[in-house]
């Protein structure tokens, strides 16, 4: 017999979807931050033509809808006959997408360090690397961290688009339940609540970091 009430197993199904959302976010942010860090520092210190090329390439990922990036990556995977799961494709696409934004954040952070400070460090005898490590890094981190928190939030919301390539995350799980019990408002409200519970603490943290670090400089 077909059950048409919202059952406990439905809630569990949605929570599993939320787990998938978090897993995607985790890998995307991890990969994206590592790559973005490298790209960002490169853009801040490398010669202008490397900078221009890297900037232009990363800009592509910020100028094309993420949905289309997923579709392209997924079909490209089939074309070259790569045997990887949709989850891996989603993680790779999201990580590259994240790195494009993260690189800008890191670059802005590095460039926010006054050149006089860096010259002072160098004239005190610090090497180029020591200057980056002990002077630029701590100052840039303060500038960049609030935006990075914002980026993490943004990526978590953007993971909802993976439903198009057949991954059941929170939003898709809700849609599946809606199709069965025909109670869209209730299920979607619950889905929104879960999203809210996942992102609100992070957004508060971002706001806290921003005010705290603005006040004591």
CB of 201 vs other proteins, minimal distance in Å: 10
199 binds other proteins (CB under 8 A): yes
For other proteins, which is the closer residue by CB, 47 or 182?
Answer: 182
Q: What's the DSSP call for residue 5?
A: S
Binding residues among 124-153 for other proteins as defined by CB under 8 A = 153
Instruction: In whole angstroms, give the CA distance from residue 11 to residue 177.
Output: 9
CB of 76 vs other proteins, minimal distance in Å: 6
68 binds other proteins (CB under 8 A): yes
Q: Is residue 104 within 8 Å of 44, Cβ to Cβ? A: no
For other proteins, which is the closer residue by CB, 75 or 127?
Answer: 75
171 binds other proteins (CB under 8 A): yes
CB of 171 vs other proteins, minimal distance in Å: 6
164 binds other proteins (CB under 8 A): yes
For other proteins, which is the closer residue by CB, 131 or 158?
Answer: 158
For other proteins, which is the closer residue by CB, 22 or 38?
Answer: 22
7 dihedral zone (left: phi>0; alpha: psi -120 to 50; beta):
beta
97 binds other proteins (CB under 8 A): no
Question: DSSP string covering 85-138, please?
Answer: -HHHHHHHHHHHHHHHHHHHHHHHHHHTS-HHHHHHHHHTT--HHHIIIIIIHH
Q: Is residue 213 within 8 Å of 146, Cβ to Cβ? A: yes
Instruction: In whole angstroms, give the CA distance from residue 76 to residue 84.
Output: 12
Crossing angle of the two packed helices 86-111 and 48-63, in degrees rounded to 10: 130
Instruction: In whole angstroms, give the CA distance from residue 186 to residue 52.
Output: 49
Instruction: In whole angstroms, give the CA distance from residue 94 to residue 35.
Output: 12
Site string for other proteins, 22-61 (x = CB under 8 A): --------------------------------------x-
| Interacting residues with other proteins (CB under 8 A) | 60, 63-69, 71-72, 75-76, 79-81, 153, 157-161, 163-164, 171, 174-175, 178, 183-186, 188-189, 191-192, 195-196, 199-200, 203
């Amino acid at each position: 017999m077909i059950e048409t009430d919202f059952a406990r197993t439905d809630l569990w199904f949605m929570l599993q979807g939320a787990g998938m959302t978090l897993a995607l976010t985790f890998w995307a942010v991890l990969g994206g931050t590592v790559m973005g860090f490298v790209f960002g520092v490169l853009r801040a210190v490398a010669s202008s033509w490397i900078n221009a090329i890297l900037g232009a390439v990363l800009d592509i990922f910020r100028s094309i809808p993420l949905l289309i990036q997923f579709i392209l990556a997924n079909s490209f995977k089939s074309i070259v006959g790569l045997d990887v799961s949709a989850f891996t494709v989603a993680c790779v696409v999201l990580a590259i997408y994240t790195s494009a934004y993260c690189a800008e954040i890191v670059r802005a952070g590095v460039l926010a360090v006054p050149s006089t400070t860096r010259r002072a460090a160098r004239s005190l005898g610090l090497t180029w690397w020591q200057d980056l490590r002990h002077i630029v890094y701590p100052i840039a981190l303060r500038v960049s961290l609030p935006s990075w928190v914002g980026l993490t939030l943004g990526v978590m919301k953007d993971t909802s688009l993976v439903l198009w390539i057949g991954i059941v995350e929170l939003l898709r799980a809700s849609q599946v339940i809606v199709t069965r019990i025909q109670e869209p408002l209730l299920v979607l409200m619950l889905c929104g609540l879960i999203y809210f519970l996942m992102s609100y603490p992070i957004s508060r943290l971002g706001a806290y970091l921003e005010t705290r670090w603005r006040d004591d400089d």
